[in-house]
């Protein structure tokens, strides 16, 4: 393996931070995903649902649940949301097929009621496709609780049972007993895995969350989990994009995300930056790979030591080879990036390994000096503090943002911290609040950059907003290049009762 540099240059540290920021899923997308899966949960639990008696519990698993999801590389790719629907039923009273069919029937009714395409059946789950413009699909997995059974099995094998109580039994139509009633079901534990993963970065997470709450003058509980990104999560996002680029022509045999995530979390020691986290991970992952009596690699599920994430390497040795080839190349590539100081060299070196567009966008966001652009954006001197006493009684969120420009007849939606917009475009922001009327609406726009400064156009105060027929609207235009924020605030009886959080708009 290549030697990884222990002391990356300040420019490289900033650049890696910006790579992660550009890869990260915008907060609005997390909120949209949450709305979508909660809508599915409400449907499954409605009064006339055939599953209502089983008290459906719907939650996210996978990269969205761990905060390691990355943006699609292009407009044709979709965000994959992995969903679990856990039903309070007894696996001994039904077959896997019974559960999957019952769940599929209700999910199909949901799709039909909302004018969506027919759901598609996969090996373990059902897929719910949204309209093309949404760039979303949900892979929904039916499950039943299996914590007691899993705990007993792990105890018999003398394995750790710390995370076993949230284990679930799932469906798999390729299993021989798929149609038979019995106790032998496949299992999983997404809640337990998420708890283990968070335990590996707890110190970093709490420190960052407290800092964000202090900066925003909010309670720490008001900062949602998905807005906090630790160096571990950012490093995993960068490594996943590096993998995707390396295996663009062979996606079926690329290293799987759960192996990268598990080994990275084991190797992480609460390093304070992405560069240092990458160093620790790329140097340390091999020490967390075990071997069985036959010499085959074992990468255990931390919530169930009897499960080997690398089990299929025995039948598909190319996947084993690809993993170690990728690991060596990632170490070499990021060692080279860490050694560079010039922006042009950073872009030239990163382009072939993370994608040319991403490499350039990260450089656009990178200042020549100082800390990463995101913290700087939220703490500029001309940003005014809210003048109202804070009494949180509800919520407000920026639901949609659209832009139009010359040559575009229809508004196009964009998201917080998304790709930079062109200059001289017209923007419309729509917000939604659960605060009962009457109330006052204010918008705080904070812009940055040399153009705004030269034109004496820096803004950081509060503009009075309007409510038009129950809809909170605000219009802006893209005058100056740079990174800017807009936030919606609700004031009632002289108190600040809700604020949306900053929506980031980049202009080039």
**Tens-digit pLDDT profile for residues 41-60:** 889 988 899 998 998 988 88
Same domain assignment for residues 102 and 229: no
CATH of the domain at 453: 2.60.40.10
Average pLDDT, the chain: 86
Helix (H), strand (E) at residue 140: strand 136-145
Nearest alpha carbon to residue 464 among 482, 493, 491: 491
Domain extent for 337: 10-22+199-371
Pair (169, 209) in one structural domain: no
Q: Are residues 366 and 453 in the same domain?
A: no
Q: Are 245 and 353 in contact (CB under 8 A)?
A: yes
Q: What is the pLDDT of residues 193-216, one digit of tens each?
A: 999 999 999 888 888 777 777 766
Same domain, 17 and 162: no
Residue 3: inside a domain, yes or no?
Answer: no
Q: What is the pLDDT of residue 372?
A: 38
Among residues 371, 405, 436, the one where a domain terminates is 371
For residue 223, is pLDDT > 70?
A: no
Residue 142 lies in a domain: yes
Same-domain pairing of 213 and 335: yes
Decide: 425 and 404 in contact? Cβ < 8 Å.
yes
What CA–CA distance (Å, rounded) separates 266 from 284? 8
pLDDT band at 367 (very low <50, low <70, confident <90, very high): very low
Q: How many CB atoms lie within 10 A of CB 142?
A: 29
d(Cα 234, Cα 257) in Å, to the nearest integer?
A: 14
pLDDT tens readout for residues 328-341: 999 999 998 988 88
Task: Answer whether residue 2 is part of any domain.
Answer: no
- Shared domain for 170 and 255, answered yes or no, is no
How far is residue 189's CA from residue 178's CA, in Å, rounded to a whole number? 20
Provide the whole-model pTM.
Answer: 0.70
Contact yes or no for 358/72 (Cβ under 8 A): no
Is the same domain home to 348 and 486?
no
Average pLDDT in the 65-77 region? 80
Cα(133)–Cα(136) distance, rounded to whole angstroms? Answer: 8
444 pLDDT above the threshold of 90:
yes
- pLDDT class of 74 with cuts at 50, 70, 90: low
Rounded mean pLDDT of 12-24? Answer: 91
Beta strands 482-492 and 440-446, pairing class: antiparallel
Q: Which of 42-46, 357-361, 447-451, 472-476 has the lowest mean pLDDT?
A: 447-451
In a domain, 114, yes or no: yes
DSSP character at residue 377: H
Query: In this model, does residue 321 exceed pLDDT 80?
Result: yes
Residues 316, 353: one domain? yes
Domains in the chain, number: 3
- Verify that 35 and 184 share a domain, yes or no: yes
> Is residue 17 located within the same domain as residue 31?
no
Question: Which of 133, 167, 188 is the C-terminal boundary of a domain?
Answer: 188
Q: Are residues 17 and 71 in the same domain?
A: no
- 321 or 506: which leads in pLDDT: 321
Q: Which of 141, 158, 188 is the last residue of a domain?
A: 188
Q: Are residues 265 and 408 in the same domain?
A: no
DSSP 8-state class, residue 420: P
pLDDT score at 200 = 93
Least confident segment among 1-10, 100-109, 183-192: 1-10
In a domain, 389, yes or no: no
Q: Residue 64 maps to which CATH number?
A: 3.30.460.90
Provide the pLDDT for residue 421.
86
**What pLDDT score does 36 carry?**
83
Q: Is residue 170 part of a domain?
A: yes
The answer to whether residue 466 is domain-embedded is yes
Tell me what the mean pLDDT of segment 263-287 comes to: 93
Whether 264 maps to a domain, the answer reads yes
Query: In whole angstroms, what is the distance from residue 416 CA to residue 485 CA?
Result: 9
Mean pLDDT of 426-435: 92
Query: What count of other Cβ atoms lies within 10 Å of the Cβ of residue 460?
Result: 16
124: three-class secondary structure by DSSP: coil
pLDDT of residue 75 exceeding 80: no
Q: Which of 5-19, 135-149, 281-295 has the highest mean pLDDT?
A: 281-295
Least confident piece of the model among 122-136, 290-304, 357-371 = 357-371
């Amino acid at each position: 393996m290549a030697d990884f540099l222990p002391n990356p240059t300040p420019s490289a540290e900033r650049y890696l931070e910006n790579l992660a920021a550009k890869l990260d899923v915008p907060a609005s997308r997390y909120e949209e995903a949450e709305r979508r899966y909660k809508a599915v949960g409400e449907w499954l639990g409605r009064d006339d649902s055939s599953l209502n008696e089983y008290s459906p519990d719907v939650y996210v698993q996978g990269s969205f649940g761990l905060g390691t999801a990355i943006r699609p590389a292009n407009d044709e790719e979709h965000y994959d949301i992995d969903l679990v629907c856990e039903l309070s039923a007894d696996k001994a009273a039904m077959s896997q097929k019974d559960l999957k069919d019952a769940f599929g029937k209700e999910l199909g009714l949901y799709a039909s009621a909302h004018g969506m395409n027919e759901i598609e059946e996969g090996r373990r789950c059902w897929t719910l496709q949204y309209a093309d413009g949404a760039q979303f699909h949900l892979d929904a997995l039916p499950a039943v609780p299996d914590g007691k059974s899993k705990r007993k099995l792990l105890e018999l094998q003398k394995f750790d049972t710390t995370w076993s109580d949230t284990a679930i039994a799932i469906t798999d139509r390729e299993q021989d007993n798929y149609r038979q009633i019995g106790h032998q079901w496949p299992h999983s534990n997404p809640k337990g895995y998420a708890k283990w993963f968070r335990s590996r970065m707890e110190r970093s997470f709490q420190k960052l969350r407290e800092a964000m709450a202090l900066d925003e003058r909010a309670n720490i509980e008001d900062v949602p989990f998905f807005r906090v990104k630790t160096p571990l999560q950012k490093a995993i996002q960068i490594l996943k994009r590096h993998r995707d680029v390396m295996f663009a022509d062979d996606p079926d045999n690329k290293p799987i995300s759960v192996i990268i995530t598990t080994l990275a979390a084991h190797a992480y020691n609460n390093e304070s930056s992405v560069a240092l986290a990458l160093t620790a991970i790329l140097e340390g992952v091999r020490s967390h790979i075990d071997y069985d009596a036959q010499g085959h690699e074992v990468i255990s599920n931390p919530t169930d030591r009897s499960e080997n994430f690398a089990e299929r390497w025995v039948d598909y040795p190319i996947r084993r080879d690809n993993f170690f080839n990728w690991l060596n190349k990632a170490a070499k590539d990021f060692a080279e990036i860490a050694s560079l100081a010039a922006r042009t060299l950073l872009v030239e070196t990163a382009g072939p390994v993370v994608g040319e567009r991403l490499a350039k966008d990260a450089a656009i966001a990178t200042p020549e000096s100082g800390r990463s652009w995101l913290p700087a954006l939220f703490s500029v001197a001309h940003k005014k503090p809210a003048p109202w006493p804070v009494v949180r009684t509800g919520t407000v969120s920026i639901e949609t943002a659209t832009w139009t420009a010359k040559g575009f007849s229809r508004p196009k939606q964009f998201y917080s911290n998304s790709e930079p917009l062109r200059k001289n475009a017209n923007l419309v922001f729509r917000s939604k609040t659960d605060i009962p009327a009457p109330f006052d609406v204010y918008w705080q726009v904070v812009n940055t950059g040399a153009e705004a400064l030269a034109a004496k156009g820096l803004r950081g105060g509060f503009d009075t907003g309007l409510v038009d027929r129950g809809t909170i609207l605000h219009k802006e235009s893209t005058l100056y290049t740079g990174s800017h924020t807009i936030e919606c605030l609700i004031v009632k009886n002289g108190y600040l009762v809700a604020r949306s959080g900053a929506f980031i708009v980049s202009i080039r």
